[in-house]
């Protein structure tokens, strides 16, 4: 069978995939257009894609032979899952392996903003450091503060648990109660408005979907403390970026740490010009170990799917229910 891979992923994954199938890997070191993806999957049985690929209805219906889509990401807002289900194509993601790695980046952003790490580095390199000064780059303490988690799933939970060393009060929003967090940290489930009002640090860990699009906008930012810091390592469109720029420019909040953007890879000039925001290029899962695990996981799913088995990380298991009840 034949598999199309939309961009080079870590070699151990490609080697494993090559042992099982005839594979074609996009040779250009860039994101393919939708048209190029459609061309790429011609005559292919499997598609191994990335979160940057628009896998919409048109792509999903483009190749009649296509029978498995394995994504190299945990978030799958870029894939039309209902179209895939309709066509009987299983879709898989890579949950779990990137949980701690993404939670670590969220903490790195939190500290970077709280203590002006990036600004301080730029300042120092520019030769502006003229000696210790009582009022130089004063930041925010982290210990004993209140941490607000929006979305207490895998990543939100891992992020919260890492606060143990900083003796923080933890509050969270989620559709479900997270008893593990409540037991481990004395965390409390609260409404979003209360979380925004009470938290010194707010970190977003919900997936992007209709209900979370622009979850944080002007109204929400106005409720936050003037000293608060907002962290987003989930998906850009969860925050109304225009409203965030306004909040940061007018100092409604202390700062923000972002790994994701509303229109990636575009970032507004206004956002880039602010020094109370730390910007990262969507590298939440970007460690050598984790990206390798993600590659192997995507490939394991592809192998299972093309063998007709339920992929271990299948998102739309209904596909198999349909098949067995037919």
Give residues in contact with ligand GLV (CB under 6 A). 51, 73-75, 95, 98-99, 153-156, 205, 284-285
Nearer to ligand GLV by Cβ, of 216 and 247: the residue is 216
**Closest distance between ligand GLV and the C-beta of residue 75, in Å?**
3
Identified catalytic residue from 36, 86, 100, 264: 264
| Shortest Å, Cβ 297 to ligand GLV | 11
From 73, 32, 89, select the one nearest 81 (Cα to Cα): 89
d(CA 205, CA 234): 5
* 205 part of the active site: no
Q: Which two tokens stand for residue 57?
A: 């209805």
* Contact criterion met (CB below 8 Å) for 72 and 9: yes
**Directed axis angle between helix 288-306 and helix 11-20, to 10°?**
20
- d(CA 24, CA 36) in angstroms, rounded, equals 13
DSSP 8-50: ---HHHHHHHHHHSEEEE--SSSPPPHHHHHHHTTT-SEEEE-
CA distance 263 to 237: 8
What is the rounded distance in angstroms from the CA atom of residue 223 to the CA atom of residue 202? Answer: 12
Query: Among 7, 205, 235, 291, which one carries the catalytic annotation?
Result: 235
Specify the residue, 81 or 274, whose C-beta has the smaller distance to ligand GLV: 81
* Residue 282 bears catalytic tag: yes
Active site residue 235: yes
Provide, rounded to whole angstroms, the least separation between the CB of residue 263 and ligand GLV: 15
d(CA 4, CA 65): 12
Cβ 277 to ligand GLV shortest distance, Å: 19
CA dihedral sign of residues 190, 193, 195, 197: negative
Q: How far is the CB of 80 from ligand GLV (least distance, A)?
A: 16
Catalytic pick among 7, 116, 205, 282: 282
Select 1 or 161, whichever has its Cβ closest to ligand GLV.
Answer: 161
Q: State which residue, 84 or 247, has the beta carbon closest to ligand GLV.
A: 84
How near is the Cβ of 118 to ligand GLV at its closest, in Å?
A: 21
CA distances from 66 to 33, 81, 87, 235, 301 (A): 18, 14, 9, 28, 15
Q: Give the whole-angstrom CA distance, residue 233 versus residue 239.
A: 11
Select the residue whose beta carbon is closest to ligand GLV and give its number: 153
Query: Looking at beta carbons only, is 155 or 253 nearer to ligand GLV?
Result: 155
Please say which residue, 30 or 130, places its beta carbon nearer to ligand GLV: 30
Among all residues, which ones are annotated catalytic?
235, 264, 282
């Amino acid at each position: 069978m034949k598999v199309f891979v939309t961009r080079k992923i870590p070699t151990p994954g490609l080697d494993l995939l090559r042992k099982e199938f005839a594979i074609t890997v996009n040779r250009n070191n860039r994101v393919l257009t939708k048209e190029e993806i459609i061309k790429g999957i011609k005559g292919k049985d499997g598609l191994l894609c990335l979160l940057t690929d628009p896998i919409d209805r048109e792509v999903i219906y483009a190749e009649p032979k296509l029978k498995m889509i394995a994504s190299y990401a945990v978030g799958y807002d870029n894939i039309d899952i209902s179209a895939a289900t309709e066509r009987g194509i299983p879709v898989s993601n890579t949950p779990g392996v990137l949980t701690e790695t993404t939670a670590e980046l969220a903490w790195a952003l939190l500290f970077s903003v709280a203590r002006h790490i990036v600004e301080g580095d730029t300042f120092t390199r520019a030769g502006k450091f003229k000696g210790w000064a009582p009022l130089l780059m004063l930041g925010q303490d982290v210990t004993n503060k209140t941490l607000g988690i929006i979305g207490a799933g895998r990543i939100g939970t891992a992020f919260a648990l890492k606060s143990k060393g900083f003796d923080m009060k933890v509050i969270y929003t989620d559709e479900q109660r997270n008893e593990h967090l409540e037991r481990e940290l004395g965390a409390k489930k609260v409404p979003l408005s209360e979380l925004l009002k009470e938290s010194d640090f707010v970190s977003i860990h919900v997936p992007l979907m209709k209900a979370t699009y622009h979850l944080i906008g002007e109204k929400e930012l106005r409720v936050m403390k003037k000293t608060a810091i907002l962290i987003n390592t989930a998906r850009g469109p969860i925050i109304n970026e225009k409203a965030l720029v306004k909040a940061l420019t007018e100092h409604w909040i202390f700062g923000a740490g972002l790994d994701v953007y509303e229109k990636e890879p575009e970032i507004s000039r206004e956002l880039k010009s602010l020094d109370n925001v730390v910007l990262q290029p969507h590298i939440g899962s970007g460690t050598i170990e984790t990206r390798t695990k993600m590659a192997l996981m995507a490939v394991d799913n592809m192998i299972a799917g093309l063998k007709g088995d339920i992929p271990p990380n299948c998102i739309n298991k209904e596909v198999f229910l349909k098949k067995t009840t037919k």
